[in-house]
Amino acid sequence: MADLPVKIGQQYEAEIVGISHDGEGVGRVNGFTLFVAGALPGERTLVRVEHLKKQYGYAGLVEVMEVSPDRIVPECTIYDECGGCQLQHLSYEAQLRAKRQQVVDNLQRIGKLQVAGEARIGRVSTTAISENSAPDFDETNMDEGVIVHPTLGMTDPWRYRNKAQVPFGEERGGLIGGFYAQGSHRIIDMDECLIQHESNDEVVARVKEIGARLGIRAYDEELNAGLLRHVVVKVGFRTGDIMVVLVTNGNVIPRVDEWVAGIREALPGVKSICHNINVKQTNVIFGDETRVLWGSEVIYDYIGDVKFAISARSFFQVNPVQTEVLYGKALEYAALTGGETVVDAYCGIGTISLFLAQKAGQVYGVEIVEEAIADARKNADLNGMTNVHFEAGPAEDVLPEWTRQGVRPDVVVVDPPRKGCDPALLATILELRPQRVVYVSCSASTLARDLRALVDGGYGVAEVTPVDMFPHTVHIESVVLLVRDETVEKNPYVY
């Protein structure tokens, strides 16, 4: 790499032109790309090169010579140490713009999709679809490009997380609990986290105090010794219910009755105290066995008017305020009038399925995790919904079987994990050819890849709405409406 225009250890002036998917500033030095943590677009910086690859490198920020007007002082006192947030030094309005740009960049670079200019976006309402209307866009103008709306943000982008997963350790003989320093497994002890619900902070602090008083030892991952690995807290925003889960490296918690009594006395809002056992030498938080030490097996919360039972290991969106915004946009894009058949692939515990079932004729949810399907069925019963049907298995296998049984979806909704949709599922969707596909994504890159496949298979991307589920972090969710191209008589796309 002797021919590179920069050298390790040397300082250079770098113009910052963007933000990477990890939240680093994207700098340019003599045409060469350097990723600079802490730098912001529009800034002129002095950086020191630390690592080099053939086509890019990493540099430390030495000095900001020209400061971006979007730079602010982070609210969090341990922001520079903790790796939980990446964008607190960027104003919230600028965060929303940067996240939309992340979606646009991926659609163009990976999806090879043309994105509409600002003029066309301004002509299209972000609420163009009501519950009784068809998609409000002109298919003849699809060549103008995909509409990517401004990111839907929060009025108050703080204290939004309903779940904390806090690793525990020891420092100078004392029990500590916090979050990992960026890029390491070193725990930063903390008293509060500004993106967590206040109840989460209170629970962690009290559990830390009680554990220290009872002489509980923290787990040491290098020695594979010690007991307390994590404390997981879940809180119902609407109900106020609180669940505490003690994750331990062992079947037995010493002085467990005293610990339970201490938690109940210090935290009267707690409805459930559970014990999860994880004896594996792994960084996976939960083990396979969970026991209820006291109280209920579940707590409850709502998304809109739909009530959900939340167990220790069940997945529930961590930002309930924005989840209602996200699902509301998915419902809007589905354009349900009351008689449609909807398939929800990757349905999890039924959150989107039940939200859609309020407006659909029939909803069919499929999920590969059997425990999640059991929870989905319980949640349907909890809400008295009889027009939803759940089945466990791979969506690409279950959907064709439903088709053989006469199920013909008008709308297919997908909300896949970060890796995106399984190629076999995309091929199945293209074979079924529903009128609309609503894609809910937590990864702009795999979203762009999958949209390309669906477009090649005869669908038009009508609109994309980014939703900020995780303020002050680099993560962005998106909801996409795709509409079947009626001019395509036969599926031309083959995987």
DSSP string, 120-162: HHHHS-TT---TTS---S-GGGGGG-BEEPPPB--SS-SS-BS
Nearest to 256 by CA among 228, 226, 225, 293: 293
Same fold, 98-155+316-484 and 163-310: no
Sign of the Cα pseudo-torsion (322, 327, 333, 338, in order) = negative
Q: Residue 106 has what DSSP assignment?
A: H
CB 128 within 8 A of CB 138: no
Looking at residue 153, its pLDDT comes to 98
Looking at residue 491, its pLDDT comes to 40
Looking at residue 135, its pLDDT comes to 38
Can you tell me the distance from the alpha carbon of 344 to that of 420, in angstroms, rounded to the nearest whole number? 15
Give the three-state DSSP class for 379.
helix
Alpha helices (H) in 414-458, listed in sequence order: 423-432, 444-456
Looking at residue 133, its pLDDT comes to 34
Q: Which residues are catalytic?
A: 442
Distance (Å) of CA 425 to CA 286, 421, 431, 436? 29, 7, 10, 15
The residue whose two tokens read 């002797």 is: 2
Give the three-state DSSP class for 115.
strand
> Would you identify the CATH topology of the domain 11-66?
OB fold (Dihydrolipoamide Acetyltransferase, E2P) (2.40.50)
Give the three-state DSSP class for 415.
coil
Looking at residue 180, its pLDDT comes to 87
**Which helix (H) or strand (E) is 438 found in, with range?**
strand 436-441
Sign of the Cα pseudo-torsion (150, 152, 156, 74, in order) = negative
Say if pTM beats, i.e. exceeds, 0.85. Answer: yes
- In this structure, whether the domain defined by 163-310 belongs to CATH 3.30.428.10 is answered with no
> Would you identify the CATH topology of the domain 98-155+316-484?
Rossmann fold (3.40.50)
Looking at residue 20, its pLDDT comes to 93
Q: What is the mean pLDDT of each run of 10 residues along the chain (495 residues)?
A: 87 96 94 96 97 95 98 94 92 97 96 80 37 38 80 98 95 87 85 94 94 93 92 97 97 94 94 97 93 97 96 93 97 96 96 96 96 95 98 94 95 97 96 96 98 97 97 97 74 34
First to last CA, the chain: 39
Domain positions in the chain: 11-66, 98-155+316-484, 163-310
Looking at residue 283, its pLDDT comes to 87
- The amino acid present at 447, given as its one-letter code, is L
Give the phi and the psi of residue 60 in degrees, each rounded to 5: -90, 145
